[in-house]
Structure 1
Amino acid sequence: MTFQTLTAGKNSVTFKSFGVDLAADLYLPEGFDPTQTYKAIVGASPFPQVKDQIPATYGPEMAARGFIYLGFDYLGMGDSPALPGEFKQSRYMFRLIENTWDAVSYLGTLPFVSDIYGLGVCQGGSIIASAAVTDHRIKKIAMVSGMMAADAFQWTDRDIANQVIAAANASMQKQYETGAPDYVAPFGLNDEMSREEFVGAAAYPEMAGETYDYYGRDGAKGPVAVENFTNMHIGDQPMQSLISIGEAYADKITQPSLTIYGTNASTAPCSTQFVAKLTNEHEELTFDDFSHVDFYYKPEAVKASTDAVAAFFAA
């Protein structure tokens, strides 16, 4: 696709990362004119999402507010290929960061792009925060329901963490020996479960309920609603996620940042503990009425977050 064929709204594009073409959607504002310049946003999605989930929600919203937004499928996810000899659903943290750097490079080739910003939701918050540490082409970052300080979730109970590690180690060994993918359901939710089945077996039913309402078989953005999405994932992924924590990089971030989260969300400490370590120019916006997943798709929560992000990036 050439610059001349791009139009307002959603445009399917690709860009290179790890030598392959990653599938992406470039959202352009109404009245888009390639002879003008616009502020652009690289989006980072939650684990284990594809571009038809959060990016398909936030892309149009940010374009409606005058920004260019790039949402994409990470290497091995959605419509993007895995590397030769590797398997799909292999979303590894360090690669996500490099994919993000390449997305910034792609935006930098577009003559109508001026400043570039980063917007991450859930795990995407950690991706954006980590990527921005050494990529100062990203001028500002915003994180919504971000999982930057994941220590509070992943390492508080060392026995559970070690069980997760043992399972991930075994999965990696199995895949190496068999040459076949080892798919697991990281949250205990597979693509066939009913809401009653998943929530009934959950230790935290309320959290499970909102998870299912988005990701479940019958959910708003589950495997039925989004054809190229699955809840199944390569089993060795925790070997990277457990040592990829944005909190560790907080005091290295120099760009202005905005953190948005629900005060009563179970994941709120992943934002508050991150913010406590920041030394940059920083803004914090909290909401008492919105949960972690509300910011994924609930209209009032999405409007609140995208309004705030637009104002922050425009300033």
Structure 2
Amino acid sequence: MTNQTLAAGKNKVTFKSFGVELAGDLYLPEGFDPTQSYKAIVGASPFPQVKDQIPATYGPEMAARGYIYLGFDYLGMGDSPALPGEFKQARYMFRLIENTWDAVSYLGTLPFVDEIYGLGVCQGGSIIASAAVTDHRIKKIAMVSGMMAADGFQWTDRDMANMQIAAANASMQKTYETGEPDYVAPFGLTDEHSRQEFIDLGGNPMVGETYDYYGRDGVKGPVAVPTYTNMHIGDQGMQSLFSLAEAYADKIVQPSLTIYSSSAFTAICSTQFVEKLTNEHKELAFDEFSHVDFYYKPEAVTASTDAVAEFFAN
């Protein structure tokens, strides 16, 4: 429970996970009354985001639609500490799931919270879907531009996947031997690149929209969001190449909603996931938006949050 005085809008909160206090933002709807009951949402963000990115966009939108929304920094990210003896910018899938379970536990201590739902964007979709498999306190889940069925996306080129694994293995060994963090740019984008420099590196079809969001000059890049950096612990590949959500898709019992861009090359991560579901499920595809449009473009965010609000309400 909390003795903190909470008010409509954004409230800074903390909750315990892995024995440390994770930093969160609790968004409460206009006219919030602690004597009333509300439906609450635990938010899950893309890799490697912090709470001032997707949660700061979706939190106010869901609060404006009458929901409580909790966005938070995962262990070792943003304003949340790393474990003693570990390093910042280390975001591992199994810990993300447990952080999410603890976020649900925190919401469960709030006397004005009725039901709890999960809403994940990009990697957050995989986190929410994975967490929900064995956490039935989460009554419904929604995934936007989700990376749930990531095997078909990450393992299509097996040689490239094994190169990523080799680099991650070497990074883990280096960190262990030196006792110092080995930071890399997982997508090739550093905090210093200009847009043209990043595009000139080549890569996937999302380079332009990736930079426009995460780049030095991006809307939610390291200049706009001081707690964010594109640099990350180099062993991340050893964790991100696990795709738990699709492996357990047929075990999910909660009603679910999958929203994605049918024109994005990440669409397979949603469509192959949907094919494996056996629960009550709704699927919503948009041709006019890209994968990253759902992160911040007003039309795309309105479309997704309207759909999520309606889904959670019924």
Q: TM-score range by the shorter chain?
A: over 0.9
* Aligned-residue offset at 1:244: 3.2
- The separation in 2 between residues aligned to 1:241 and 1:132, in whole angstroms, is 18
Tell me if structure 1 keeps the 8 A contact 2:148–2:243.
no
In structure 2, what is the equivalent of residue 207 of structure 1? 206
In structure 2, what is the equivalent of residue 94 of structure 1? 94
- The separation in 2 between residues aligned to 1:304 and 1:126, in whole angstroms, is 21
- The separation in 1 between residues aligned to 2:18 and 2:197, in whole angstroms, is 40
1:247 to 2:252 alignment? no
Aligned length: 314
In structure 1, what is the equivalent of residue 44 of structure 2? 44
- The separation in 2 between residues aligned to 1:188 and 1:245, in whole angstroms, is 25
In structure 1, what is the equivalent of residue 233 of structure 2? 234
Tell me if structure 1 keeps the 8 A contact 2:41–2:67.
yes
In structure 1, what is the equivalent of residue 257 of structure 2? 258
Q: Which runs of 4+ in 1 moved over 3 A?
A: 1-4
Deviates more, 1:5-14 or 1:238-247: 238-247
Letter in 1 for 2:179: G
Deviates more, 1:39-48 or 1:147-156: 147-156
* Aligned-residue offset at 1:197: 0.3
* Aligned-residue offset at 1:115: 0.2
Unpaired stretches in structure 1, ≥5 consecutive residues = none
- The separation in 2 between residues aligned to 1:251 and 1:287, in whole angstroms, is 25
- The separation in 1 between residues aligned to 2:275 and 2:3, in whole angstroms, is 43
* Aligned-residue offset at 1:245: 3.2
Any idea what the Cα deviations from partners look like across 1:142-199, whole Å, max 9, x if unmatched? 0000000111121111110110010000000000000000000000000000000001
- The separation in 2 between residues aligned to 1:210 and 1:240, in whole angstroms, is 25
* Aligned-residue offset at 1:241: 1.3
- The separation in 2 between residues aligned to 1:9 and 1:243, in whole angstroms, is 36
In structure 2, what is the equivalent of residue 71 of structure 1? 71
Tell me if structure 2 keeps the 8 A contact 1:4–1:34.
no
- The separation in 1 between residues aligned to 2:229 and 2:75, in whole angstroms, is 15
1:163 to 2:155 alignment? no
In structure 2, what is the equivalent of residue 195 of structure 1? 195
In structure 2, what is the equivalent of residue 9 of structure 1? 9
In structure 1, what is the equivalent of residue 104 of structure 2? 104
Tell me if structure 2 keeps the 8 A contact 1:215–1:222.
yes
Tell me if structure 2 keeps the 8 A contact 1:151–1:245.
no
Counterpart secondary structure, 1:223:
coil
- The separation in 1 between residues aligned to 2:237 and 2:135, in whole angstroms, is 25
- The separation in 2 between residues aligned to 1:188 and 1:4, in whole angstroms, is 42
Counterpart secondary structure, 1:166:
helix
Deviates more, 1:195-204 or 1:80-89: 195-204
Tell me if structure 2 keeps the 8 A contact 1:3–1:34.
no
In structure 1, what is the equivalent of residue 144 of structure 2? 144
Any idea what the Cα deviations from partners look like across 1:121-148, whole Å, max 9, x if unmatched? 0000000000000000000000000000
- The separation in 1 between residues aligned to 2:203 and 2:114, in whole angstroms, is 47
1:306 to 2:305 alignment? yes
Letter in 2 for 1:145: S
Any idea what the Cα deviations from partners look like across 1:34-88, whole Å, max 9, x if unmatched? 0000000000000000000000000000000000000000000000000000000
* Aligned-residue offset at 1:3: 4.9
In structure 2, what is the equivalent of residue 130 of structure 1? 130
CA RMSD of aligned residues (A): 1.0
* Aligned-residue offset at 1:249: 1.1
Change (3 A) 1:264 1:160: same
- The separation in 2 between residues aligned to 1:199 and 1:166, in whole angstroms, is 25
Deviates more, 1:240-249 or 1:146-155: 240-249
TM-score (norm. length: structure 1): 0.98
Unpaired stretches in structure 2, ≥5 consecutive residues = none
- The separation in 2 between residues aligned to 1:80 and 1:68, in whole angstroms, is 21
Deviates more, 1:130-139 or 1:241-250: 241-250
Counterpart secondary structure, 1:89:
coil
Deviates more, 1:235-244 or 1:60-69: 235-244
* Aligned-residue offset at 1:231: 0.2
* Aligned-residue offset at 1:217: 0.2
- Give percent identity, aligned residues only: 85
Tell me if structure 1 keeps the 8 A contact 2:259–2:283.
yes
In structure 1, what is the equivalent of residue 26 of structure 2? 26
- The separation in 1 between residues aligned to 2:4 and 2:176, in whole angstroms, is 46
- The separation in 2 between residues aligned to 1:231 and 1:285, in whole angstroms, is 30
In structure 2, what is the equivalent of residue 221 of structure 1? 220
TM-score (norm. length: structure 2): 0.99
Tell me if structure 1 keeps the 8 A contact 2:40–2:116.
yes
- The separation in 2 between residues aligned to 1:133 and 1:203, in whole angstroms, is 34
